[in-house]
Chain A
Amino acid sequence: MNTAVRWFWFASPHTFFPLAGTIARVCAWLAVPLALAGLYVGFLVAPTDAQQGEVYRIIFIHVPAAWMSMFIYLVMAFWAALGLAFNTRLSGMMAQALAPTGALFTFIALWTGSLWGKPTWGTYWVWDARLTSELILLFLYFGFMALHASIDDVRRADRAAAVLAIVGAVNVPIIYYSVQWWNTLHQGASVSFTKAPSMAATMFLGMILMAFAFWLYSIAVAMVRVRCLILERG
């Protein structure tokens, strides 16, 4: 097989199907112990925070979920761009497979952020830069899924949603920067939900473990979902 063919070997849904199954199994089996390790470090090893007490432990979910929400969007946009460039069906399916998980992590980031804010800063919601950007990211995910669902022809839906994902991906840094600027100007309360406690090494370790667990979970879920898509689309 020359190199050109090797790149596209797994671009065929037929050949990718079994590979996706293997990846899903491996990642699922890795995700669980990592999550358990992360929770162990998060609750039993990391110390109580001087200012925030126990409640800071929410960051072991909040920060990894926020990271995943942004990372998945980029990966989704990547597959979408690949699908547009090479006209491969599987790329569009990958993007579609990733979207629900990305949206879920965005919601989790918002939910946990809100529950962290109430005991720490006294309010469930604050229009700070990160939370507001996460909210807009959630809208971008919903837009992607809604657009795809609204178009009957699946190939057209894949391509249209791909353009939207790329435009969104280009906009995300612009949105983040502008929201951050807006936030510094309108700083009513000098509150930032993003002020995590100054990181003890164990806190950081807990976050990293949870982040890896979420990452492997996302891969496993996306692989199963793409297998379903391959079967559903025939």
Chain B
Amino acid sequence: MLDAVRCIVGRDLLLALRRRTDIATALLFFVVVASLFPLGIGAEPNLLRAIAPGVIWVAALLSTMLSLARLFAADHADGTLEQLVLGAAPLGVVVAAKTLAHWLLSGLPLVLIAPVIALQYDLPQPLYGVLALSLLLGTPVLSMIGAIGAALTLGIRGGGVLLALLVLPLYVPVLIMGAGSVEMAAAGLEPGGQLLILGALLVFSAAFAPWAIAAALRISLE
């Protein structure tokens, strides 16, 4: 089973490295969106500091959503996906591996770039840790919930926008807890509660999302 995971993650990473621009554009989108808000609202430092956690988190949501289309599309197009569904490895493990690879390529870079955005918003230095941790816990959840949506909308024309409509309401708890943890820390309070809830969401989705993604894939491919 671990062999299957290693194989699939390795393959997805290798394929992604051959098309580095895809990852880069998603990251660039993240940075661009976060840069739009000061342009729209005005660069008042106190205001920016206040909205920073929310803006960074919303940008992370949108960026993850944009990259979700890539999750199954390429494999679906060349028939690999059917092979994976019919193959020997349990489909739940396969989709978990693909989602892990997806997170490594689109979620983890967000965690690493977020401090740069935080710098733009003049977020106080001590909060960088909480921000990074909240994103580290939250982005895998976004990948997993998003993967359910991606599997459900596989091959549908206009699927990208539909995917957004389906998945964004489900993202709300992650957004609230993620941004909330940083805001708590900014107010001088303990962010531990929200971070623990994020952790719980992570564990919960890791346990149940693979089932839903696998079920959705089978439905979409039959």
Contact = CB atoms under 8 A, between A and B. Distances in A.
Nearest to A153: B222
21 contacts: A136-B169, A139-B168, A146-B165, A147-B152, A147-B162, A150-B158, A156-B222, A160-B152, A160-B219, A163-B152, A163-B216, A163-B219, A167-B145, A167-B212, A168-B170, A171-B170, A175-B170, A178-B177, A181-B176, A185-B183, A185-B184
B69 to A, nearest CB: 15
A100 interface: no
Interface in A155-174: 156, 159-160, 163-164, 166-168, 170-171, 174
A150 B176 contact: no
Interface string B137-176: 0000000010010001100111100100110111011001
A175 B172 contact: yes
Nearest to B167: A143
Interface residues of A, number: 28
Contact of A164 (B152, B176, B208, B222): B152
A69 to B, nearest CB: 14
Contacts of A164: 152, 166
Contacts of A146: 162, 165-166
A178 B173 contact: yes
Given A142-B165, A163-B216, A150 B173 contact: no
A151 B159 CA distance: 10
Given A139-B168, A156-B222, A160-B220, A182 B176 contact: yes
Contacts of B216: 160, 163
Q: How many B residues are at the interface, by size bracket?
A: 20 to 34
Interface of B: 145, 148, 152-153, 156-159, 162, 165-166, 168-170, 172-173, 176-177, 180, 183-184, 197, 201, 208, 212, 215-216, 219-220, 222
Given A156-B219, A163-B215, A150 B172 contact: no
A59 interface: no
Nearest to B197: A178
B157 to A, nearest CB: 8
The 9 closest A-B pairs by CB, nearest first: A178-B173, A139-B169, A159-B219, A143-B166, A178-B176, A182-B176, A136-B169, A160-B152, A174-B173
B204 to A, nearest CB: 8
Nearest to B148: A167
A126 interface: no
A95 interface: no
Instruction: Determine which residue in B168, B201, B215 has the highest number of CB atoms from chain A within 10 A of its CB, and name it.
Output: B215
A150 B158 CA distance: 9
Contact of B180 (A142, A147, A170, A185): A185
Contact of A175 (B148, B173, B208): B173
Contacts of B158: 150
A171 B165 CA distance: 15
A223 interface: no
Contacts of A179: 172, 176
A142 B167 CA distance: 12
B165 A182 contact: no
Contacts of A142: 165
Given A170-B208, A175-B169, 11 more contacts: A139-B165, A150-B153, A150-B157, A156-B220, A160-B216, A163-B219, A171-B173, A178-B172, A178-B173, A179-B176, A182-B176
A134 to B, nearest CB: 12
Contacts of B165: 139, 142-143, 146
Nearest to B204: A174
A178 B153 CA distance: 27
A165 B133 CA distance: 31
A19 B6 CA distance: 54
B169 A163 contact: no
A170 B215 CA distance: 16
